[in-house]
Amino acid sequence: MDATIKKICGGDVRLASRLIRDIEDKIPEAKAKIKKLYAYTGKSFIIGITGAPGAGKSTLTDALITELRKKNKTIGVLAVDPTSPFTGGAILGDRIRMQRHAEDPGVFVRSLATRGALGGLSQAAGDAIHVMEAMGKDIIIVETVGIGQQEIDIINHAHSVVVVLVPGMGDEIQTMKAGLMEIADVFVVNKANRAGAKQLQMELTSMLNLSSKAAAGWRPPIVMIGDAFEPATFAENTAELAQKIEEHHIYLQQSGKLTERMHRKAMAEINDALSACLLEPVLSSLAGSGELESFAEKIRNRKADPYSVAEEITQKFFKKQGKK
Amino acid sequence: MDATIKKICGGDVRLASRLIRDIEDKIPEAKAKIKKLYAYTGKSFIIGITGAPGAGKSTLTDALITELRKKNKTIGVLAVDPTSPFTGGAILGDRIRMQRHAEDPGVFVRSLATRGALGGLSQAAGDAIHVMEAMGKDIIIVETVGIGQQEIDIINHAHSVVVVLVPGMGDEIQTMKAGLMEIADVFVVNKANRAGAKQLQMELTSMLNLSSKAAAGWRPPIVMIGDAFEPATFAENTAELAQKIEEHHIYLQQSGKLTERMHRKAMAEINDALSACLLEPVLSSLAGSGELESFAEKIRNRKADPYSVAEEITQKFFKKQGKK
């Protein structure tokens, strides 16, 4: 076994952190490391937490860590930051908020930023999760702002998905619930002391009553969580959340659904890897030649269209491959 | 000229709508149509409107339409719905809200949903915009929920980007402002009658004071927009927004930045088309054989890793191409 892999499997925080950073930076060696490390993954339970900005996901993650640590579970946390194609880094806030766990060797928190590559964030998140799995973490929490397709791709890495809603987010969030319904295993109505919380709960309940998924075995529970500034109630509520997630885990194992999810996850991972594997050599074959630039100019002047250009590039590349 | 293309360029709503639906459904003929239509695109001004759910984007779009129609501009609106990989359709709400423009032949509103394909939504949005351009619309408004990378890819199709913020969305939205700063050409503080609006405006101002982009020619203005239920103030505020967008358009033209943006857009379009062009033949060469399924099983059982599988598939495919 490779020395680095061995150390990461032994829980080496420094080397694991470096590998995650290398994944993020798309350093080619990182891919080779993940390949070697893959055999030691697949044993952690992965919880996804998603919801709109301001829904209180980080505070909930923090509370979940506290709950799970009481049961002596080791934990990895991956906070995925969708804004960072710009900032080039991760949201500092997440780390700051989780700092009270920073001294706990049983908790490993990392943030992940994308740098704008196609399909890159979901793949990088998947690989970062693999690193944490290899480290032997019992539970991995992936936190992401869940709105777009890409965030949903990320959340598909999880076994159990918690969707966090808050009252009073306007009617646009309401129309989204139909979509969230498909991915949620557990609903949280957060800031449940606010006006509109009861109504949100009722709406979710009636949607669940109509849902075929809810009828087919697992009915996603709705956990009401009060204000974090009332510590006693909040601790009680988040303990309930941890309990519901555990129940879902048991359900997945007993029903055989866990295998089904793992299979779906494997299919998504092939797709991600395939996309990178195909696009990278083509783009690098063009890099530096100025060819891409002149194609872009043709497109801009409407002397060519993007599809014909892509076909031309692809044909050329395939021909070159054939001569090898 | 192809008869369908000719009719679309003449503004045929029925054929344009069908082509957009075909793009959405990934019907192969749609691609051929877009290729033919491409030469007639590139003359519209494209406005992107983005912001969190509940920020009031649709109401603003509706008000912008009213403003722009006063100046006799013809308008296309594309509402991109990120939840629809699940619902399989578009948010009805958007269309309902814009119904008062439904009878106006100068306004063409369509919603777009993704069906979960890699990079598909951005590409489909780009093509739907091309259809509206070919129809001869003076201005095209693209509305999207702007959080993840994919939504930002969509907004990159626009020349002028309006970022809509509302007060009191929690500190997570605050950390996002750094990212939004990079893409915003005009800021809107919506629901500016709410508590915290002044503070949000001040924070944006001080961020702009620090921004190198703002110093380099165009300083994104901040437009405060009051409650839509106070029609007089609201109309005044949205007229100001329309004015600021027009000023930005003039700035782009005079500074040469419009060409720069069009070039960047062309590069992104090549990337999108290339990704589809490469991935599709590989996936279809595997379809039906059960090969993909058995690869997924190997991955699930940790007998293989996704990267090695992707490499194997790619190598095989390239070899086959070479023999052709």
Q: Tens of pLDDT along B70-123?
A: 999 999 999 886 543 323 333 444 444 456 676 788 999 888 865 544 446 777
Q: Which residue, A94, A66, A99, is CA-closest to A238?
A: A66
Query: What does the pLDDT average to over B292-318?
Result: 86
Minimum Cα–Cα distance from B182: chain A residue: A86
Judged by CB atoms closer than 8 Å, whether chains meet at B119 and A118 is answered as yes
Using an 8 Å CB-CB cutoff, list chain B residues near A276.
310
Minimum Cα–Cα distance from B268: chain A residue: A296
Q: What is the pLDDT of residue A214?
A: 62
Judged by CB atoms closer than 8 Å, whether chains meet at A53 and B147 is answered as yes
Using an 8 Å CB-CB cutoff, list chain A residues near B91.
175
Query: What does the pLDDT average to over B127-138?
Result: 95
Per the prediction, chain B carries an average pLDDT of 81
Minimum Cα–Cα distance from B51: chain A residue: A53
Judged by CB atoms closer than 8 Å, whether chains meet at A307 and B273 is answered as yes
H-assigned helices in chain B: 3-9, 13-24, 28-37, 57-70, 84-87, 92-97, 120-134, 149-155, 171-183, 197-210, 212-215, 231-255, 257-286, 291-300, 306-323
Distance separating alpha carbons of residues A62 and B127, to the nearest angstrom: 43
First to last CA, chain B: 33
Q: Tens of pLDDT along B76-90?
A: 999 886 543 323 333
In chain B, what percentage of residues exceed pLDDT 70? 81
Q: What is the pLDDT of residue B59?
A: 84
Query: What does the pLDDT average to over B155-165?
Result: 87
Judged by CB atoms closer than 8 Å, whether chains meet at B299 and A269 is answered as yes
pLDDT at residue A130 above 60?
A: yes
Query: What does the pLDDT average to over B145-159?
Result: 69
Facing residues of B162 across strands?
B49, B186
Please state which of the ranges A190-194, A299-303, B69-73 shows the lowest mean pLDDT: A299-303
Q: What is the pLDDT of residue B203?
A: 83
Chain A: give the shortest CA distance to residue B246, in Å. Answer: 22
First to last CA, chain A: 33
Q: b vs e for B263-297, b when ≥16 Cβ sit within 10 Å of the residue's Cβ?
A: eebbbbbbbbbbbbbbbebbbeebeeeeebeebbb
Q: What is the pLDDT of residue B74?
A: 96
Of A58, A145, A149, the CB nearest to B85: A149
pLDDT at residue B296 above 80?
A: yes
Identify the structural domains of chain B with CATH numbers, from first to last. 42-257 (3.40.50.300), 273-323 (no CATH)
Q: What is the pLDDT of residue A114?
A: 53
Query: What does the pLDDT average to over A183-198?
Result: 90
Q: What is the pLDDT of residue B27?
A: 83
Judged by CB atoms closer than 8 Å, whether chains meet at A147 and B149 is answered as no
Structure tokens belonging to residue B17: 């709508």
pTM for this prediction:
0.68
Structure tokens belonging to residue A100: 């009270």
| Between A211 and B127, the higher pLDDT residue | B127
Q: b vs e for B43-79, b when ≥16 Cβ sit within 10 Å of the residue's Cβ?
A: ebbbbbbbbbbbbbbbbbbbbbbbbbbeeebbbbbbb
ipTM: 0.72
Of A53, A266, A318, the CB nearest to B321: A318
Chain B: give the shortest CA distance to residue A88, in Å. Answer: 9
Q: What is the pLDDT of residue A149?
A: 55
Of B53, B300, B307, the CB nearest to A170: B53
Structure tokens belonging to residue A195: 């006006």
Using an 8 Å CB-CB cutoff, list chain B residues near A274.
279, 282-283, 310, 313-314
Query: What does the pLDDT average to over A95-115?
Result: 71
Judged by CB atoms closer than 8 Å, whether chains meet at B266 and A296 is answered as yes
Pick the residue of B59, B151, B278, B294 with the most A CBs within 10 A to test the interface with A by mutation.
B278
| Between A174 and B123, the higher pLDDT residue | B123
Judged by CB atoms closer than 8 Å, whether chains meet at B53 and A173 is answered as yes
Of A55, A262, A313, the CB nearest to B274: A313
Pick the residue of B270, B313, B323 with the most A CBs within 10 A to test the interface with A by mutation.
B270
pLDDT at residue A322 above 70?
A: no
Judged by CB atoms closer than 8 Å, whether chains meet at A86 and B271 is answered as no
Per the prediction, chain A carries an average pLDDT of 81
Q: Torsion angle, CA of A222/A227/A233/A236, rounded to 10 degrees?
A: 50
Distance separating alpha carbons of residues B24 and B9, to the nearest angstrom: 20
Instruction: Give the long-range contacts of residues B249-258, CB within 8 A, separation 24 or more.
Output: B249/B45, B249/B159, B249/B160, B251/B217, B251/B218, B252/B159, B252/B160, B255/B217, B255/B218, B257/B217, B257/B218, B258/B159
Q: What is the pLDDT of residue B147?
A: 52
Q: What is the pLDDT of residue A189?
A: 93
Judged by CB atoms closer than 8 Å, whether chains meet at B147 and A145 is answered as yes
Query: What does the pLDDT average to over A122-132?
Result: 89
Pick the residue of B35, B172, B298 with the most A CBs within 10 A to test the interface with A by mutation.
B172
Judged by CB atoms closer than 8 Å, whether chains meet at A118 and B118 is answered as yes
Pick the residue of A33, A61, A83, A190 with the most B CBs within 10 A to test the interface with B by mutation.
A83
| Between A236 and A96, the higher pLDDT residue | A236
Using an 8 Å CB-CB cutoff, list chain A residues near B299.
266, 269-270
Judged by CB atoms closer than 8 Å, whether chains meet at A169 and B31 is answered as no
Query: Which region holds residue B288: left if phi is over 0, alpha if psi is between -120 and 50, else beta?
Result: left
Distance separating alpha carbons of residues B82 and B115, to the nearest angstrom: 10
Q: Tens of pLDDT along A47-92?
A: 999 877 677 888 899 899 999 999 999 999 998 865 433 233 344 4
Please report the beta strands in chain A, taking only residues with DSSP state E, as ranges in sequence order: 45-51, 75-81, 107-113, 139-145, 160-165, 186-190, 222-225
Confidence of residue A111 (pLDDT cuts 50, 70, 90): confident
Chain pair A-B, CB pairs under 8 angstroms: 256
Judged by CB atoms closer than 8 Å, whether chains meet at B277 and A41 is answered as no
Confidence of residue A94 (pLDDT cuts 50, 70, 90): very low
Judged by CB atoms closer than 8 Å, whether chains meet at A53 and B275 is answered as no
Q: Crossing angle for the helix pair B197-210 and B171-183, nearest 10 degrees?
A: 40
